Structure 1
Amino acid sequence: MLQAIGLTSTPRRDLTSAVDDLTFEVRSGTVTALLGASGAGKTTVLRLMLELQPGRGITYFRGLPLHRVAHPAREVGVLLGDVPGHPGRTVRGQLRMLGAAAGVPASRADELLGAVGLDGLRGERLGTLSLGMDRRLGLATALLGDPHALLLDAPSAGLSLRESTWLFGLLRAHAARGGTVLYTTSDPKEAARTADHVVTIDDGRLVADQDGAEFARTRLRPRVAVRTPHAARLADALSREARAERRSVEVVAEAGSRLTVYGSSCPEIGETAFRHGVLVHQLADEFGDTGPEPAHHPALAAAFAPIPLPRPVSLPASGQGSGTVPAPASEADTAPTRAVIAPPAELRAAPRTKPVTNSANASTSTPGPPSDGPGPLPRPVPPLSPRPVRSPLRPVRYELHRMFGIRTTPLIVAAVVLVSVLLALFLARAGGTPPRGLLVAWPAILPLPPAALGAGLLGALTFGDEFRYPALAGARGTVPRRLALLLAKLAVTAASALLLAFLVVAVDGAALRLVHGHAAAPVPDNWPALGARWAGLAVGCAWAGLLGAGVFRVTVAGVAVVVAVPTLAVPLLQTAFAGPSARSTAGLPARLRELAWLQWPTRADHWLTAVAGLLARPLAAALALSVSVLLCAYLLTGLRRRAR
């Protein structure tokens, strides 16, 4: 059950609020349509309910606001627009990555692909999916956590009749198993056909709160559907009698032998047909535009063909959702929707809470979890601001799927290795480069070797892709500045940078020995120290790119930070080290030993000296300083967002 109470958006400057004091409820086991014209504030309502937009009011999801739900993905599934994701990622890879964010087993992705009819497209890229397939993937994404509630923004917009029928059949099955469904639409006829309950808004204000049958009866134009083999004769008779009696009757000839009559009733049309000797096969009251019967119109029969609903897919016992994804339905469940779908008898008999009107003491009431019983809703109006959702729940698994789920990472690695090999062979042929420079393909004219630039690019893409293709942000606000997510990105990026760095050294050494002999790539005597420096350079560049893209929210900024370290930061530090205030690192371990309370082994002095000597190098010092500054900036911006 959902209860939205006093939702009010924060206006910009002198503009009016898109949503103003909106209160309604959505009961479990029903499909509810949020109806309104374009610009009425439907999307804003959903964003306020999900705490993605600042405003006032509160929404209870089974008695709890969203920020107090332990696992939001297992309480509410969201589809706002198209599925956000890298166009090069596969359908299965996208679901596995988001499954790691939701904390569900990896096998859940394969189960849902079969449930929504995408089992044969698991290897397709997101950029190649049609609108209908993209919407199916969006539903699978919303159902990943097996949520109790589904919130969808215009899910049927642009879909074919067959896809819409399938979609609303799945929503109906989810509601029939105790779930709660709320979707937005601007088509009143669609709302009448598919919803048990209709909440109508205009300019962000509540207009009507009705069940489906009442909405169709009072707010849609009634009509009579007639089917007769003598459609032209009956239409002419109805028109002549209406003109003679000066009644406003409109007769619309449909395809085949069908007529649609507005402004009349079944008894009147039946009497007219009897008087004129016209055979009638069908005579029924309808509301809205339900379209022709598929059985008598072969052109539309395929669109209305029964579509089997998905098989049940259950989560582990720890889930808080309704328990299953829709299972195969009977023939009645898969039949085409006709006229108005009335809610079940037990739901029609249940009392419905009416919206609360303004009162003098409304603002003094205390908010609290609502009950399922009837009665007026409370009127709390606490300030509401976007809050980062605790996601991903499996940060390392999420980051591995995110980084290696697309072709960008292997292409960057292949390009870096190829450029490094060609550059190393060219430097060996030209001469003048020391062996350690040949192994890493680092000529003196370049500020950084290709491997370091490649590691920086991988790091920049780590956060750059999050903002360009927001897998976490599509339905949950901005990318969360969660410490676990940052640590996972740092760890995975560091491991990738190390693998790239030593892969380049191994391939360059093999190529040099193959072309120029063993003497071209000798193993240096101080290879442990050189290896440590090389690893530190690769990891430092990767982290600088990652944090730069995280702070400035764009991939180019992360790459620019990596390039700026040797070109801007190093000259500044060299100037500082050359000044009279600069001191030597000689004797640093002895001075630290005097200041420390605990005594460490003498062998540790060699490691301290090596680390101090490494940090004393301008490039290493500039890289360490840049990473430290970017990390502080990232943490400060994250703390400031949480404080809001």
Structure 2
Amino acid sequence: MLQAIGLTSAPRRDLTPAVDDLTFEAPPGSVTALLGAPGAGKTTALRLMLALEPGRGVTYFRGRPLHRIGHPAREIGVLLGDVPGHPARTARGQLRMVCAAAGVPASRADELLDVVGLGALRDERLGSLSLGMDRRLGLASALLGDPHTLLLDAPSAGLSPRENSWLHGLLRAHAGHGGTVLYTTSDPKEAARTADRVVTVDGGRLVADQDAASFARTRLRPRVAVTTPHAARLADALNREARAGRRSVEVVAEEGAGSLLTVYGSSCPEVGETAFRHGVLVHRLADEIGDTGPVAAPSAMPAPAAAGAPAVPRPVGGGTVSLPPLSARPVRSPLRPVRYELRRMCGVRSAPLIAAAVLVASVALAVPLARTGGTPLPGLLAAWPALLPLPPAALGAGLLGALSFGDEYRYPALAGARGTVPRRLGLLVAKLAVTGVAALLLAALSVVADAGALRLVYGAAAVPVPGNWPVLSAGWAGLAVGCAWAGLLGAGIFRVTIAGMAAVVAVPTLVGPLVQKALTGPSVRSVVGLPGRLRELAWPAWPHRIDHWLTAAAGLVAQPVAAALALSLSVLLCAYLLTGLRRRARW
């Protein structure tokens, strides 16, 4: 049972709310159509039910509001628009990624692909799928968690009659197994033909809530469509003969189509005979089922349950079962964030292409730098000339981090209007971990590639092992990981990849000079002797080996780029927590 009670969207400036105090029910075991003209508020109503739109009201899914459902994807399947996946991702890869977000086994993806008829196209790229195939993939995404309730926004829009028949057959099968189906449509004939109940909305308000038979009887009327170049003559003849025969005939001239007449209360033979008797040329004559527009009808909807009801009894095998209330807890999804992030990153060729480009650029810079002889060994191994703000490996790591959130906003794993994957700490930690490991691998590979190229061109003597290689390695790893995280947080805040890259480039170009100017003074000299002062504060038997590590760590932190990177990461993390995690949870 789906119960929508008092749904009201946030007021718009100088405009009435798109949805105003909308209340209706969708019973289990049936298909319910939410009918309305374009702009009537159907999509906004669905978004209000899913807490994707600011407003008031509450929606109960089998007696529980959305925030009290532990795993929403296993209770509610949603399809709002097309599947906005990355065009280069395969259909199977897209579903496996959503499986990790929904907390279901990856094998479920193959099962659903066979159910929706895409088993033979599992390795096809999303960009090559037709509209009908894309809609099938969207239904597979909605059904991954085996939900009880399906919410679909105009699922049949643009589909062929054959695809439309298949779609409604699938929805009917889901309802036949006891599920609840609610879909929106603007076609009253489709609603009367495919739904069990029709909820009509107009201007964001409830107009009628009827069973399909009552809806067809009160809303749909037979009519005759006539196309003629002499529409006015034929209309006058039809009206005169109807008055003479005392018949109730209504002739309507369609606006914007001067040659089209719609005749109610007559038939094709009668209209054709009238046209023949008066010598009117007719180009088209056809019987149709016409829509009389939104007409209020007595509602057969039962009274909604109280807002605080813990459960709604549902008939099962002749009896009733009360669902136990769940303890209020935040939605924890994706359930496998690390697996989800790995599938998101590895499902397209962006990461290997970036890695290959970084290695090529790094080698191409390191070899000529060694020939000039003016670059120290650490700069050679990092391929970091003075002209570049950052080495290629750091820029590549920043791009990987920026794509982690930027691509997700551009090509969400879940339906676009339904909201992307929740911006929660679990997902953030997973993204930080995966991008950090990717950045470390990229940094290590670039050093190995540069060292190998230098040895190959100039000999082994050209690349000696530096004595302070642990400190250099730590600084190099910190730079790569820091750039990756700066790109990730920047893209997560501003929801675009280019913003993440701007956050990375701003570290050496903007923040670095400011930090360097702030550090040039007495505060820098106070770092000297820090290990000795710590030894005096701590204990006399301070190991002398720690002095070396503390001095090296202090030296790294005192570097302008390192200090700028640490400052940037702190600011970006605080901004992300304030802008992303404070929002209401989206699933």
> Fold conserved (TM > 0.5)?
yes
Q: Which moved more, 1:417-426 or 1:593-602?
A: 593-602
CA change 1:428–1:416 in 2 (3 A) is: same
Q: CA deviation at 1:486?
A: 0.7
- The 5 A counterparts of 1:616-627 are 616-627=558-569
Q: CA deviation at 1:75?
A: 0.6
CA distance in 1, matches of 2:397, 2:69: 38
SS of structure 1 residue aligned to 2:84: coil
CA distance in 2, matches of 1:162, 1:596: 79
CA change 1:594–1:199 in 2 (3 A) is: farther
The answer to whether the 8 A contact 1:220-1:287 is kept is no
The answer to whether the 8 A contact 2:334-2:421 is kept is no
Deviations 1:56-81 (A, max 9, x none): 11110000001110000001000011
- The residue type paired with residue 100 of structure 1 is A
- The 5 A counterparts of 1:467-616 are 467-472=409-414, 474-477=416-419, 479-595=421-537, 603-616=545-558
Aligned counterpart, 2:197: 197
SS of structure 2 residue aligned to 1:403: helix
SS of structure 1 residue aligned to 2:351: helix
Aligned counterpart, 1:176: 176
Q: Does 1:186 find its partner at 2:186?
A: yes
CA change 1:107–1:220 in 2 (3 A) is: same
SS of structure 2 residue aligned to 1:58: strand
Aligned counterpart, 2:18: 18
SS of structure 2 residue aligned to 1:209: strand
CA distance in 2, matches of 1:108, 1:479: 19
Q: Does 1:423 find its partner at 2:339?
A: no
Aligned counterpart, 2:339: 397
CA change 1:205–1:643 in 2 (3 A) is: closer
Q: CA RMSD in A?
A: 3.4
- The residue type paired with residue 44 of structure 1 is T
SS of structure 2 residue aligned to 1:221: strand
Q: CA deviation at 1:599?
A: 8.6
CA distance in 2, matches of 1:23, 1:440: 63
CA distance in 2, matches of 1:433, 1:370: 72
SS of structure 1 residue aligned to 2:522: coil
- The 5 A counterparts of 1:52-63 are 52-63=52-63
CA distance in 1, matches of 2:365, 2:480: 18
The answer to whether the 8 A contact 1:548-1:557 is kept is yes
- The 5 A counterparts of 1:448-459 are 448-459=390-401
The answer to whether the 8 A contact 1:388-1:477 is kept is no
Aligned counterpart, 1:446: 388
Q: CA deviation at 1:208?
A: 0.9
Deviations 1:360-408 (A, max 9, x none): xx9xx8643464499xxxxxxxxxxxx9953211110111111111111
Aligned counterpart, 2:236: none
The answer to whether the 8 A contact 2:32-2:183 is kept is yes
- The residue type paired with residue 174 of structure 2 is H
Q: CA deviation at 1:22?
A: 1.0
Aligned counterpart, 1:368: 309
TM (norm. structure 2) is 0.83
Deviations 1:85-115 (A, max 9, x none): 2222111111111111111111111111111
- The residue type paired with residue 136 of structure 2 is R
SS of structure 1 residue aligned to 2:498: helix
- The 5 A counterparts of 1:5-404 are 5-222=5-222, 247=247, 263=265, 288=289, 353-354=301-302, 367-369=308-310, 371-372=312-313, 390-404=332-346
CA distance in 1, matches of 2:25, 2:42: 15
CA distance in 2, matches of 1:198, 1:372: 23
CA change 1:459–1:287 in 2 (3 A) is: same
SS of structure 2 residue aligned to 1:32: strand
The answer to whether the 8 A contact 1:91-1:125 is kept is yes
CA distance in 1, matches of 2:400, 2:373: 31
Q: CA deviation at 1:182?
A: 0.2
CA distance in 1, matches of 2:556, 2:576: 26
CA distance in 2, matches of 1:598, 1:369: 65
The answer to whether the 8 A contact 1:216-1:287 is kept is no
Overall identity of the aligned pairs, in %: 77
Q: Does 1:460 find its partner at 2:406?
A: no
CA change 1:183–1:601 in 2 (3 A) is: farther
The answer to whether the 8 A contact 2:397-2:439 is kept is yes
Aligned counterpart, 2:255: none
TM (norm. structure 1) is 0.76
CA distance in 2, matches of 1:99, 1:171: 21
- The residue type paired with residue 499 of structure 1 is L
- The residue type paired with residue 9 of structure 1 is S
CA distance in 2, matches of 1:61, 1:174: 16
- The residue type paired with residue 369 of structure 2 is L
CA distance in 2, matches of 1:194, 1:158: 17
The answer to whether the 8 A contact 2:331-2:585 is kept is no
The answer to whether the 8 A contact 1:388-1:480 is kept is no
CA distance in 1, matches of 2:502, 2:144: 37
Deviations 1:512-540 (A, max 9, x none): 22222222322223222211111111111
The answer to whether the 8 A contact 2:36-2:200 is kept is yes
CA distance in 2, matches of 1:210, 1:492: 52
Q: Which moved more, 1:613-622 or 1:585-594?
A: 585-594
- The residue type paired with residue 13 of structure 1 is R
Q: CA deviation at 1:242?
A: 9.3
SS of structure 2 residue aligned to 1:501: helix
The answer to whether the 8 A contact 1:28-1:175 is kept is yes
- The residue type paired with residue 552 of structure 1 is F
**Unaligned residue ranges in structure 2 (runs of 5+):** 225-240, 251-262, 271-286, 291-298, 316-328
SS of structure 2 residue aligned to 1:210: strand
Aligned counterpart, 1:637: 579
CA distance in 2, matches of 1:157, 1:561: 41
CA change 1:399–1:478 in 2 (3 A) is: closer
Deviations 1:205-247 (A, max 9, x none): 11111111111122111489xxxxxxxxxxxxxxxx9999564
- The residue type paired with residue 401 of structure 2 is G
CA change 1:433–1:207 in 2 (3 A) is: same
CA change 1:2–1:601 in 2 (3 A) is: farther
Q: CA deviation at 1:577?
A: 1.9
**Unaligned residue ranges in structure 1 (runs of 5+):** 225-240, 251-260, 270-285, 290-350, 357-361, 375-386
SS of structure 1 residue aligned to 2:171: helix
- Count of residues in Structure 1 that have an aligned counterpart in Structure 2: 527
CA change 1:593–1:170 in 2 (3 A) is: farther
Deviations 1:12-53 (A, max 9, x none): 122101111111101100000001111111001101111111
CA distance in 2, matches of 1:16, 1:388: 33
The answer to whether the 8 A contact 1:23-1:355 is kept is no
